[in-house]
Amino acid sequence: MGAHTGRLGMPSDLINRHLIKRDFNHRVLIVDDDTFFLNEFEDLLKEHGFMVTQAVDGEACLDVIERKTPDLILLDIAMPRMDGFQVIRKLRAQAHMKYIPIIVISGKTTPDQMPRDCRCLASAIFAKPFDFKELLDCVAKLLHLP
């Protein structure tokens, strides 16, 4: 019998073997107009000790950040009202957001298709679909976690 497929298409045994629940208490903001991915990312990050907030578009992202600055942002590119390119430019123009890690996640835009300034402003770029363990490792590295 094959391995059970977990969230985001990863085999559950792979998740269980490689990802250990830790209590980081770091705030992660997930910005994506796809509620499936929002909920999947939130569940997986919470399982690993992160505090998670969601935003469904760029305008909602800016509203959330106004109330509480996250430690890291996972940002989709293709969204209604305000896309990820606009968001990353606005955030990097704010002094208190200049050094917050931003991981760009996109299913429609490859890194080569992104404007050069956005590639330079992003801390990391992931194309959907991606390996969640790699994303989690990147989050840990950007937050200087063990």
pLDDT digits (tens, 9 = 90+) for 49-59: 899 999 999 99
* Structural domain spans, the chain: 25-142
Mean pLDDT confidence for 105-127: 73
pLDDT of 129 above 70: yes
pLDDT of 1 above 50: no
What CATH architecture is 25-142? 3-Layer(aba) Sandwich (3.40)
Crossing angle for the helix pair 35-47 and 132-142, to the nearest 10 degrees: 60
One-letter amino acid identity for 122? A
Q: How many CB atoms lie within 10 A of CB 57?
A: 19
Q: What is the pTM of this model?
A: 0.80
30's enclosing H/E stretch is strand 27-31
27 versus 125: the higher-pLDDT residue is 27
